[in-house]
A and B are shown apart, each in its own frame.
Chain A
Amino acid sequence: MRKKLSVSRRTGVAIIALLVAAGAGATVSTADNSRPANADAVDTQLQRSANSSTSQRGAARAMPPPVTGYILPGANFTFERFMEFPNSEGTLAVTYNGEPFATANHPFFKVRPNGRACVTCHQPIDAMGISTKTIKERWAATNGRDPLFHASDGSNCPHLPQNDPKSHSLLLEHGLFRVGLPWPPKDFNGNAIEPEFEIEVAMDPTGCNTHAEYGLNSAHPTVSVYRRSRMAANVRYLESAQAQSNTKTGLPLVRDPVTGIHSSMSIMSDARVTSLAMQAQDAGGVHMGMGPLYGENGHPKMTREEADQLVEFERNVHAAQQSSKLAGRFDVAGTPRALGVKAMIEGRGNPPVNGNDTDVGVFYSMEEWRGPVNSGNPGADFRASVARGYDIFFLKPIWLRDVFGITNFGLGNPYKQTCAFCHNTLLTGHDDVPGWMDLGTNNFPHASSAPELPTFKITCKANALPHPYLGREIYTHDPGRALITGKCTDVGALVMQQFRGISSRAPYFANGSAKSLREVVDFYDRRFNVGYTDQEKQDLINFLSVL
């Protein structure tokens, strides 16, 4: 079943579909005239391959139509080798390194007990995540009856009237899903962990954490936090860590209980799973009404075999910005090497490469786009701005201060370094060192104002090590990793995300507190007292927007 698309999106995707089906050197560029001279002559090998594949397939048997918009669970489309979707900055490319397939019978698209599928929250049009733009469109199209808005986690709390959009305000306005975690936390064997702190609900705007059935004092004590879904593409870059130990703790990496392989701890925001397969099973239980990973609820849990199929699929999906309205297409000569989805396909992901060196570069080099500030050519000016933004990201020192997970394990607090020190992994910009950090997006006093989110008071026990910068009494919107480990030092700490396809999946940060890239940059400017100029901020935004 096809979703009704907005006019602009429908028009855009129709153009793409026509071009791909026609087997032509497809472009949907809205680039200006400042593109490199040979741009028109350079086609994308990826698209040629996709077109060739489509042509051959068409001759052999009928395939469902290609993916062009929002995909409902169980819907039948062809998941192509190369797909391109418009976004606010240009286009996003999603690729699949395998034979095109019909989605109807694929486990990623299969309808689960609560009516959802993996694709519900990991949409190709949104870089395998989901944006509030799409979420709002789904509400409007279905009057809130899309399984996306399922009461269990697609509403602020299941007890609220589900036909009222106010009951889904966190999802609609901030892209946040409810994640109910058991308290006290449990280990991989389901055994309770004795926490180092007491947790109280200080403010409960959703009513969920104080609710008799769903709250902290219910028969099954639960802490409800609200988080964004993460991008289910380029995941092979996230699966392993560069080193063999966790530099931040001096301990071995945690092993996946099924495979015995050391985990990167970079897959979920609270690092509660140790493999992509475990993530699939966790999501089956938490978000799709299947049996939970630990314990029973009457539904069978996702089998490991099915989870492994999902992993195999996800490892072969890549996504990145593919063109810019101002800079042109990224599959033409003269484009910086890191841009476009081809770089993601070709890059080494497992184990990842630390790019925070001048002879590597987190996003290689942007030399090709250097230029004067005001050349009079909008395209050239934009490209030059991107190159400057990369320089700021890669080279401009700032004082990283009071960041548990960065400044507390031997480097010093403050630590004068660059953005790329933490966002160091080649081509993705996530941290190659496994672990989580308290950037301040959740914890007071640094968190952005978010009265819509719950606030918890954390009181650390006297015999526990305090949080290194916030002490033994902490107010937080989301205790983060501490809800898994029970450790006071972990309060508010979360695993950072990758940068790719970022223009397709606003809002940002795990708690959706930044609605735009401008708000992301403003947060860092405020958090670390950087003092970016307006030009520097715009350069950073432009740089991020093309990833």
Chain B
Amino acid sequence: MNMKSKLLLAAVLLAAPVPGIAQKQILPADLPPGRVSEALPRDTYVTGDPMRLTAENMNVGERITFVSCPYVRDSDPTPLWLADYNGETYLLRAQQNLSASVRHPQLKHRVLVEGIISPEPRLGSAIVLNPVLLSVLPEIDLECDRLLPADGTAIKNPKRPPGPGVDGVRREEGAERGRQNAARLWAVDYTPDPVERVKREFEILWDFDHGIGAHGSYGQVLAAVKYARDVEASKVEIIGHRASVRLTNGETIVERPGVEKERAETVLTIFNDHPFAPGVVTARWDPSPRPADGVTDFTKRTVSIIVTPGPESRPLARN
């Protein structure tokens, strides 16, 4: 099964059945990408919780990259984030919570949309983007200020509608595990887990123009921290980058100067929260923006973490 098929299958599997709605067994793969099939029941597969655009899934469909004002359509049970571009309306995502793999847009800010036109049926008039990346641009744009009333368009099966969650006990168990894992990783007398001791590079991807708080970046950096502790690293190099993006309309936009430094320092801060020996962890950054090619641009907004294993420590002799 190729990646495209996996993706489409995942889209179907993610969509929970809609009670009371007859489900017609038509796979999204049967649909022409980005087109509406009036014969299909609307909303059958749309979850509104898209996958994150990655190097692995970036070729599963037609790419579209644009900057636009996002807007909100109120909806029951959860609001919808939309954007217009070149005469079409696109569904960016439905509102969820922080567990969503794709961040939400913000009014008062334009958004960089890097997505793939999904074969899922349109939601109302909106073309579904999935997978997608959404980067809120930091400068304020007061033109981006539309909050529309509900018009009947709705995600039938949102992953997480507004209001309290339903799994607090389970979440609390997860939080406790997280605290225990973190405490172990912070400990000076950390006992390494057995891993293959090789020089390894970790790449942390960032939203366009963002220097701190990349979505999920803390957990990704922690994976690098853990590896560095497991291999008793003799050297950890942190290298921040900034990049350019070629839009579908041919324009190129470039990340702001200095964001590469913020990224490197963010990662360095997380490493410095752990007891590495002085001089082991260093950070630097490259101020020149990586060029755009219109395909892999989103993979170039990175911080590279290169971990070099140290000599394996010998177990203490016991009397």
Query: Interface of A with B (CB < 8 Å)?
Result: 242-245, 247-252, 255, 351, 353-361, 394-395, 397, 399, 401-402, 407-418, 420, 463, 465-466, 468-469, 471
Known: A245-B218, A410-B215. A357 touches B164 (CB 8 A): yes
Complex contact B212–A468 (CB within 8 A): no
Whether A251 contacts B107 by the Cβ 8 Å rule is no
A402 to B142, CA, bound (A): 12
A251 → chain B, closest Cβ, in Å?
6
- Minimum C-beta distance from A371 to chain B (A): 23
Q: Are A407 and B98 in contact (CB under 8 A)?
A: no
What are the residues of chain B within 8 A of A410 when measuring CB–CB? 98, 100, 103-104, 213, 215
> Interface-forming stretch among B52-60, B83-91, B167-175?
B167-175
Bin the interface of chain B by size: 35 or more
Residues of chain B from 184 to 239 with CB closer than 8 A to chain A in the complex:
212-215, 217-218
B164 contacts which of A244, A250, A412, A418 (Cβ < 8 Å)?
A: A418
CB of A412 within 8 A of CB of B95, answer: yes
Q: Do A357 and B167 contact each other (CB < 8 Å), given the known contacts A250-B217, A251-B270, A399-B147?
A: yes
B168 touches A354 (CB 8 A): yes
B95-A252 in contact (CB<8A)? no
In the bound complex, do residue A250 and residue B213 qualify as a contact, i.e. CB atoms below 8 Å apart? Answer: yes
The answer to whether A414 touches B72 (Cβ under 8 A) is: yes
Tell whether A469 pairs with B108 under 8 Å between CB atoms, given A248-B213, A250-B212, A414-B147.
Answer: yes
A357 interface neighbour in B104, B171, B178, B218, Cβ under 8 Å: B171
Closest beta carbon of chain A to B262's beta carbon, Å? 9
Minimal beta-carbon separation of A201 from chain B (angstroms)? 25
Chain A nearest CB, measured from B9 CB (Å)? 28
Evaluate contact between A357 and B165: CB separation under 8 angstroms.
yes
Asked if B122 is at the interface of the complex by the 8 Å CB criterion, the answer is no
A contact face: mostly helix, strand, loop, or mixed: loop
Chain A residues lying within 8 Å of B178, measured Cβ to Cβ, are 243-244
Question: What CA separation (Å) do A244 and B105 show in the bound complex?
Answer: 26
Residues in A neighbouring B164, C-beta threshold 8 A: 356-358, 361, 394-395, 418, 420
Chain A residues contacting B175 (CB-CB under 8 Å) are: 242-243, 351, 354
**Residue contact A357 to B97, C-beta cutoff 8 Å:** no
Chain B, range 110-159, C-beta contacts under 8 Å to A:
136, 138-140, 147
Alpha-carbon gap, A394 to B162, bound state (A): 11
**A466 and B138 contacting across the interface, CB-CB below 8 Å:** yes
Known contacts A244-B179, A395-B164, A414-B72: A252-B269 contact under CB 8 Å: yes
Closest chain A CB from B167 CB (angstroms): 6
Q: In the assembly, what is the distance between CA of A425 and CA of B162, in Å?
A: 18
- Selected from A255, A357, A416, the residue in CB contact (under 8 A) with B273 is A255
Neighbouring A residues of B81 by C-beta, 8 Å: 412
Chain B residues, CB < 8 A from A255? 273
| Contact A359 B169, beta carbon cutoff 8 Å | yes
The 5 closest A-B pairs by CB, nearest first: A357-B168, A412-B104, A360-B168, A413-B106, A250-B213
Compute how far the CA of A255 lies from the CA of B270 in the bound complex, rounded to whole angstroms: 12
Q: Is B65 an interface residue (CB 8 A)?
A: no
12 more contacts with CB within 8 A, not counting A242-B175, A244-B178, A251-B269, are A250-B214, A252-B218, A351-B179, A354-B175, A357-B167, A359-B168, A394-B164, A407-B106, A410-B103, A415-B104, A463-B258, A466-B138
Asked whether any CB of chain A lies closer than 8 Å to the CB of B47, the reply is: no
CA A352 to CA B265, docked complex, whole Å: 30
Contacts of A414 in B (CB 8 A): 72, 107, 147
- B166 on interface, CB distance cutoff 8 Å: yes
- Binary CB contact string for chain B from 257 to 297 against chain A (1 if under 8 A, 0 otherwise): 01000000010011001000000000000000000000000
Q: Mark B69-100, 1 if CB is under 8 A from A, else 0.
A: 00010100011010000000000000101101
B300 at the A interface (CB under 8 A): no
Complex contacts, B109 vs chain A, CB 8 Å: 413, 468
- List of B residues within 8 angstroms of A395 by Cβ: 163-164
Give chain A residues whose Cβ lies under 8 Å from the Cβ of B167.
357, 359
- Chain A residue numbers with a CB within 8 Å of B18 are none
29 interchain pairs, CB-CB under 8 A: A244-B183, A245-B182, A247-B98, A249-B213, A250-B214, A250-B266, A354-B175, A356-B165, A357-B168, A359-B169, A397-B162, A399-B147, A410-B98, A410-B215, A411-B104, A412-B81, A412-B105, A413-B106, A414-B72, A414-B107, A415-B95, A416-B78, A418-B163, A465-B138, A466-B139, A466-B140, A468-B108, A469-B140, A471-B140
The minimal Cβ–Cβ distance linking B257 to chain A, given in whole angstroms, is 8
The answer to whether B162 and A358 touch across the interface, beta carbons within 8 angstroms, is no
Q: How far is the CB of A284 from chain B (nearest CB, A)?
A: 29
Nearest A residue (CB) for B257: A463
Candidates B72, B106, B171, B179; contact of A354 at CB < 8 Å: B171
> Which residue of A has the minimal Cβ distance to B178?
A244
State the CA gap A414–B95 with chains docked (Å): 10
Q: Which residue in chain A gives the minimum CB-CB distance to B221? A: A250
Residues of B within 8 A of A416 (CB): 74, 78-79, 95, 162
| Chain A residues within an 8 Å CB radius of B106 | 407-408, 412-413, 468
Closest to A470 in B: B140
Report the Cα distance A401→B183, complex, angstroms.
35
Query: Closest chain B residue to A251 by CB distance?
Result: B269
Interchain CB contact under 8 A, A417 and B269:
no
Which residues of chain A are within 8 angstroms of B147 by Cβ–Cβ distance?
399, 414
Q: Which residues of B contact A401 (CB under 8 A)?
A: 107
